[in-house]
Amino acid sequence: MAKLGLTAIGGGALALVAMVATATTLARAEVDDPEKVDPWFDRLSHAKRKTTRLHFYFHDTFSGKSPTAVRVAEAAMTNKSPTLFGAVIMIDDPLTEGPDPEPPLVGRAQGFYGSVGLKSMTLLMDMNLVFTSPKYNDSTLSILGRNPALKTYRELPIVGGTGVFQLASGIATAKTYFLNLTTGDAVVEYNVIARHY
């Protein structure tokens, strides 16, 4: 893996850089001019899908002066439920190269999750991974799926993407690195495999 923890795999390095640069240019042009989306979309039948592997740490912080996760809704029974069933949490969590919150940021996880399990700690995750590193700046991957939070490894589907990751699909695996049961603060290690154009 590269030092930043964000690694692309595929053909020759120069060819990959050229493809990423082209995709980024197209993506930004299409955001500025929606009429360019149709011709780009029509050319996809001839385009080759790329695979990108990403590794980073997700910091979900409820405590302290600057929380990045906030409970915004709950059911009448939430505080009596052992699984906090019905709680909805809005997040803007930093993504870092390593488990320490101090390394350079590679992006942010923005979205929400809710407790959907009556008998098990199960979350419904709906978040966008918004990358800020130079290679993937302003590109996103969207995750929507079930997260059985207390299992060692969880597998979440990637359902879309923008910028470098246009029309992405793939899998994100999550593993809890740290969890404070008193505050709810957590650090989660993510490994992502995304296929995109």
pLDDT tens per residue, range 100-148: 988 789 999 999 999 999 999 999 999 999 999 999 999 999 999 999 9
Strands 122-131 and 50-60: unpaired
Q: Is 85 helix (H, G, I), strand (E, B) or coil?
A: coil
- Here the tokens at position 81 are 């439920």
CATH number, position 188: 2.40.480
Instruction: Please check whether residue 1 lies inside any domain of the structure.
Output: no
How far is the C-alpha of 5 from the C-alpha of 57, rounded, in Å? 10
Q: What is the pLDDT of residues 63-108, one digit of tens each?
A: 999 999 999 999 999 999 999 999 999 999 999 999 998 878 999 9
Amino acid at 124: L
Helix (H) or strand (E) segment spanning residue 41 = helix 37-43
Q: Is 152 exposed, middle or buried (0-12, 13-18, 19+ CB in 10 A)?
A: exposed
- 31/43: higher pLDDT: 43
> What's 48's DSSP letter?
P
* Secondary structure tally for the chain: helices H, strands E: 2, 10
pTM equals 0.80
pLDDT: which is higher, 26 or 66: 66
Going by C-alpha positions, the residue among 169, 126, 168, 129 that lies closest to residue 147 is 126
The pLDDT assigned to 72 comes to 98
Is residue 91 one of the residues assigned to a domain? yes
Residue 78, domain member (yes or no) = yes
Residues above pLDDT 70, as percent of the chain: 84
Tokens at 184, concatenated: 């709810």
Phi, psi of 39 (to 5 degrees): -60, -40
How many domains does the chain contain in total?
1
Has residue 132 been placed in a domain? yes
Q: Identify whether the C-beta of residue 111 lies closer than 8 Å to the C-beta of residue 159.
A: no
Is 19 a member of any domain? Answer: yes
Structural domain of residue 180, as residue ranges? 6-196
In a domain, 64, yes or no: yes
